[in-house]
Structure 1
Amino acid sequence: MKTHLPLFIDVRGRKIVIFGGGAVGKRKASLFSQYADVTVVSKDFIKEFQHLKNKVTLIESGEITEELIESYVKDAFLVVPSTNNRDLNEAIERLAKEHGALVNRVDKVSEVIVPSVIHRGSITIAISTDALSPALSRYMRKRVEEVITPEFGMMAKLQNEMREILKKEITSQHERKRILLCILNDETIWLALGESYEKAHSLSMSYIS
């Protein structure tokens, strides 16, 4: 049986707590702050965190005790132990799970694995090796980025807009599907997307008129 299910989750308004103010914690905070409310707890922070001070909540604490950990993980959706102390990371994971939070460890495989991600407009591609080789994930991402160009994101937008137009203009679902496939397979339209979205849209409209 496979262990990790690839899944996209809406985390807007949810709380993510990161323990550790080093480079790994900063990288995690940069990523998660794009999607959720992020709090970072640490004895100290590298200077790069200053770029995130308006995006995340930074809590500087002298000693990371179990009482302190519990106070932050008790209402968290996801907890990320990213300190340089493995025993402390173990304690954070244990307490987070006791309070029902998911855990993403950075020093070993855990129940949550953060994939390498490619964004192309509304298209998102996630790549994971089940934490066996982060370097391979990054390499694969670069290779995929060479194939899945920004035009793919523009095509997704174009397909959506054309589908809405076709619903108003053509009653036959079969015919609407045929036209959308023609647009998708039209090399001229793909080339036009490389120049401007408007040009590609105009060419697509010729399939209706």
Structure 2
Amino acid sequence: MVEMKNRKVVIFGGGQVGERKASLFSRYAPTTVISRSFTPGLYELEKQGVNLINTTVTLSDEVILGHIKDVFLVIPTTSDQELNRRIAELAHQSSSLVNSVDGLEDIAVPSIIEKGDITIAISTKGASPALSKYMRQKIEEIIRPEFEDMARILKDIRPKLIQQVPKQEDRSRILWTILEDSDVWEALPESYDKALKIALNHLINGNN
């Protein structure tokens, strides 16, 4: 997965595809959408920090290059395939990466599942977006809220684990003992603090 923090993203096109791309990338990077018009959803995203640039000028090469200067990722989503192709080519000339529904892309965007500290990316490398969506639905059925809480537990005990258990193999053994303890999993829906206490007992016992 590419680290996007503080890397600029520019999307050309204010339709439904542009909205979906902006919704995704604005979580990770400063995102700008350039278009003659925008969906209501994009106006909502503007309230959350997405930069909307309304343009009525013809997107000449010079204008496009001005918009994509020092941009990390360029995403053409207009209804004009020829314009999308030209934007992608100019982006490559400017050393920007491209994500495009019309090909000529450097980054394939996976389907993302986010549950707290858990992030799962699903990709078929463009072979079948429908399969990616199907797999996402199936995985979301498996990733119950307890998984998010378990990730939180392991995150919370990590500093103590590193401090109290010097050997990596011992730390790994303790973590697996916690993960395989049905008492921890059964306590999670009832009380996070109760589950955390059970997990910490493994740290105490495993270090003796």
Seen in structure 2, the aligned counterparts of structure 1 residues 90 and 168 have a Cα distance that, compared at 3 Å, is: closer
The answer to whether the aligner puts 1:163 opposite 2:161 as a matched pair is: no
Gaps in structure 2 of 5+ consecutive residues: none
| 8 A Cα contact 1:163 1:180, kept in partner | no
* 1:100 aligned counterpart, secondary structure: coil
Seen in structure 2, the aligned counterparts of structure 1 residues 76 and 174 have a Cα distance that, compared at 3 Å, is: closer
The answer to whether the aligner puts 1:130 opposite 2:128 as a matched pair is: no
Instruction: Report the counterpart of residue 5 of structure 1 in structure 2.
Output: none
Instruction: Report the counterpart of residue 59 of structure 1 in structure 2.
Output: 53
Which range moves more in the overlay, 35-44 or 164-173? 164-173
Instruction: Report the counterpart of residue 196 of structure 1 in structure 2.
Output: 191
Q: How many residues align?
A: 202
* 1:201 aligned counterpart, secondary structure: helix
**Residue from 22, 31, 41 that aligns with 2:24:** 31
* 1:29 aligned counterpart, secondary structure: helix
RMSD between aligned alpha carbons?
1.8
Shift of 1:153: 2.4
| 8 A Cα contact 1:183 1:189, kept in partner | yes
Shift of 1:173: 4.9
Which range moves more in the overlay, 117-126 or 18-27? 117-126
What TM-score do the two structures reach when normalised by structure 1?
Answer: 0.89
| 8 A Cα contact 1:43 1:64, kept in partner | no
Distance 1:170 1:111 in 2: 43
Gaps in structure 1 of 5+ consecutive residues: 1-7
What TM-score do the two structures reach when normalised by structure 2?
Answer: 0.89
Seq. identity, %: 46
Look up the equivalent residue of 1:130 and give its one-letter code. K
